[in-house]
Structure 1
């Protein structure tokens, strides 16, 4: 998921494809037996500014674009804000879900996806994977704050104050619970066990769970003791 265009998607694609390539080849395996690799970006913007809803990137032989050069690597970019509906109906329904548009709730895949999301968020067995997947939410939060600051520079002081006030009220509400949240402590321990640094864990608690820096430090210290 990409919320803001940092003008580095081709380079990121190269990194992800190289990581997949390392996993695709077993020692002694024939190169022709390697699995195909797909990298998919779901963007809240047009990644190339060409007006397409879907972009498919593959390598080709210069001067001979029709030559079937097949190395198994494919990269797909989707602009979920694009309303051209040039993809299949089922894929369009999925993109509409991501964009928070009206979807066909009778679609079996949408039903399954909603159930899976609920399961991942509630099942302790899936916590580590879920926490890794929610790292992108930190990027979203940082992008939102950046947008708020830019809006303030453009004269939207009132909107900024309302967002900050809302965040403060939410933080105070969470801070009223003086008891130690064992569930949150378990989450912090999982983050530590997965190799997250002190700064990363505290940043996650502050940005995603809306804790104050003092509360984040407290949970980190308690997690280390247990």
Structure 2
């Protein structure tokens, strides 16, 4: 369906693209930039893009010369990694990431999520929309 190497190589720029699309849809032409709200782009990946074993990689814009100086553009990009090995997330988040990675539901939340997924899969219109979306990749 898609080349995983291309997906990995393009992920940072893809996040940048989505950030731009979010901003374009929030602000009207001529509107004050102060009206842009905080925004988050969150990707859940079944691979470790950076190979550091983290479950969570969080990025904000900072000054290269002084990493303590934030740009203050209120944008955050988060990559959640189902293949993380460090003890860096809550047990609940770990169960969610394990579920996303293909394991059976292991708590009430992932069980509810499983039921919601089944409901969507059984909805003919949503399934057609999903298949159409998959063909565009």
Q: TM-score, normalised by structure 1?
A: 0.50
How much has 1:3 moved relative to structure 2? 8.2
Instruction: Pick the structure with more strand per residue.
Output: 2
Residues paired across the two proteins, number: 134
Are the structure 2 counterparts of residues 97 and 78 from structure 1 closer, same or farther at C-alpha, using a change threshold of 3 Å?
same
1:114-135 alpha-carbon deviations (Å, 9 max, x no partner): 22212212224534543356x1
1:42 to 26, 35, 44: 44
Are the structure 2 counterparts of residues 36 and 13 from structure 1 closer, same or farther at C-alpha, using a change threshold of 3 Å?
same
Point out where structure 1 has 5 or more consecutive residues left out of the alignment.
Answer: 136-199, 205-226
Q: TM-score, normalised by structure 2?
A: 0.77
Match of 1:122?
Answer: 122
Match of 1:15?
Answer: 17
CA distance in 2, matches of 1:90, 1:30: 40
Q: Do residues 84 (structure 1) and 86 (structure 2) align?
A: yes
How much has 1:96 moved relative to structure 2? 0.8
Q: Which runs of 4+ in 1 moved over 6 A?
A: none
How much has 1:103 moved relative to structure 2? 4.4
31-40 or 54-63: which moved more?
Answer: 31-40
Instruction: Pick the structure with more helix per residue.
Output: 1
Point out where structure 2 has 5 or more consecutive residues left out of the alignment.
Answer: none
CA distance in 2, matches of 1:102, 1:121: 17
CA contact (8 A) 2:53 2:85 kept: no
Bigger RCO (CA 8 Å, 6+ sep): 2
The structure that has the greater radius of gyration is: 1
